[in-house]
Amino acid sequence: VVKQVQATVSRYRLLKHGDYIGVAVSGGKDSLTLLHILHQISPPHGSELVALTVDEGIAGYRDEALRLVEAFTARLKIPLVVVSYQELYGFTLDAGLKWRRPRKVSACSICGVLRRRALDVAAERAGVDVVAKAFNLDDMAQSFLMNLLAGDLKRIRWLDPALQKAEGFRARTIKPLVEVYEEEVALYAYLNRIPFQEEDCPYRGESIRSEVRAFLNSLEARHPGIKHILFKTAIKVARNLAVEPVETGRCERCGYPSTQPVCQTCRALTLVEVNRSQ
Ligand code: SF4
């Protein structure tokens, strides 16, 4: 697994010498494994690490994950920056989801957008050059299929591991686990005795991703290697897409870089319809 990650880092030129690397760490097996591996392979790159964690405010779930992250980063002597929804948005995810309108909007479609912003804020606070995300081969294959189903070509472009920098942002985003199967990540975590949160987020089942995951797992069981083929196909498609470049401006509400007049985060916050007096 470590050799595979090193090969991915070198094939897609993910790290530059001396990069200050923020590792997005949730407390699950993927992100703690990524931290463990980068801790081993980053010294030759002259790089230092900081862990970046988002506390969404999910009672009975995120609290345990935070404890695991704190203990693991202390063990590896890696500093930790935590940003919470409560601090950024003034509410926890549990509270926000009770207020969401319309009700059928899935938790992940709101939370995913709010998480991305929270991670950007954590990266800015830490002053990192690059944010490493624990996006594995299974995640990649699922995202490709989901974006195809949604006809979202722009997002398919972003599946190319070589494309790292979004306009307006200081830090690049890299995905060093993108060629490692989720099962291999789990095995790595067990063999290296990495304590991770095994429980799934209570809201995960609301997302179409769960159905796509089950579908791909059943295909992979009958046709081993199909996820890897999808990964290669995604890169080919991404590199051959004639997507018009979109101009990045600033969100008129929050001032963050955005390709739309109102950014995704502000639109997600509108769906939550926060009623602070409740
Ligand atoms: S699974 Fe969905 S709701 Fe849960 S933390 Fe992830 S994005 Fe948020």
Of the pLDDT bands very low, low, confident and very high (cuts 50, 70, 90), residue 45 is: confident
- Are 16 and 5 in contact by the 8 Å Cβ rule? The answer is no
Which residues does 6 contact at the CB level (< 8 Å), separation at least 6? 41
Pairing of strands 257-258, 249-250: antiparallel
The whole-angstrom separation of Cα 201 and Cα 198 is 10
Nearest atom in ligand 1 to 108's CA = 2
Q: What is the Å distance from ligand 1's center to 59 Cα?
A: 13
Q: Whose CA is nearest to atom 3 of ligand 1?
A: 108
Q: Between the CA atoms of 221, 179, 48 and 25, what dihedral angle is there, to the nearest 10 degrees?
A: -40
**Predicted local confidence at residue 170, as pLDDT:** 81
Tokens of 167: 């306009």
Where does residue 44 rank: exposed (0-12), middle (13-18), buried (19+ CB within 10 A)?
exposed
**Predicted local confidence at residue 248, as pLDDT:** 80
Which residues does 109 contact at the CB level (< 8 Å), separation at least 6? 207, 268
**Predicted local confidence at residue 277, as pLDDT:** 47
CB 108 near ligand 1, within 6 Å: yes
Of the pLDDT bands very low, low, confident and very high (cuts 50, 70, 90), residue 250 is: very high
Average pLDDT across the chain, whole number: 91
Q: Whose CA is nearest to atom 2 of ligand 1?
A: 108
Nearest atom in ligand 1 to 62's CA = 5
User: To test the ligand 1 pocket, which listed residue (201, 209, 210, 213) has its Cβ within 8 A of the most ligand atoms?
Assistant: 201
- Are 66 and 58 in contact by the 8 Å Cβ rule? The answer is no
The mean per-residue pLDDT over the stretch 64-86 comes to 96
Q: Whose CA is nearest to atom 1 of ligand 1?
A: 204
Supply the pTM of this predicted model: 0.91
User: To test the ligand 1 pocket, which listed residue (25, 56, 142, 264) has its Cβ within 8 A of the most ligand atoms?
Assistant: 56
- Is a pLDDT exceeding 50 seen at residue 17? yes
- Are 274 and 96 in contact by the 8 Å Cβ rule? The answer is yes
- Is a pLDDT exceeding 60 seen at residue 278? no
Nearest atom in ligand 1 to 111's CA = 8
Q: Whose CA is nearest to atom 8 of ligand 1?
A: 111
- Is a pLDDT exceeding 80 seen at residue 60? yes
**Omega cis (within 30) before 102:** yes
Q: What is the largest CA-CA distance in the chain?
A: 54
Amino acid at site 227: K
Q: How much of the chain, in percent, has pLDDT values that exceed 70?
A: 95
**Predicted local confidence at residue 206, as pLDDT:** 64
Of the pLDDT bands very low, low, confident and very high (cuts 50, 70, 90), residue 275 is: low
User: To test the ligand 1 pocket, which listed residue (204, 210, 272) has its Cβ within 8 A of the most ligand atoms?
Assistant: 204
The whole-angstrom separation of Cα 256 and Cα 23 is 22
List the one residue out of 37, 42, 36 whose CA is nearest residue 15.
42
- Burial pattern 243-273, b for ≥16 Cβ within 10 A else e, equals eeeeeeeebeeeebebbeeebbbbebbebbe
Top pLDDT among 236 and 155 is at 236
Top pLDDT among 78 and 256 is at 78
User: Given phi > 0 = left and psi -120 to 50 = alpha, else beta, which region is 107?
Assistant: alpha
Of the pLDDT bands very low, low, confident and very high (cuts 50, 70, 90), residue 136 is: very high
**Predicted local confidence at residue 104, as pLDDT:** 72
Q: What DSSP designation does 60 have? A: T
- Is a pLDDT exceeding 60 seen at residue 276? no
Range name among 72-76, 134-138, 209-213 with the lowest pLDDT average: 209-213
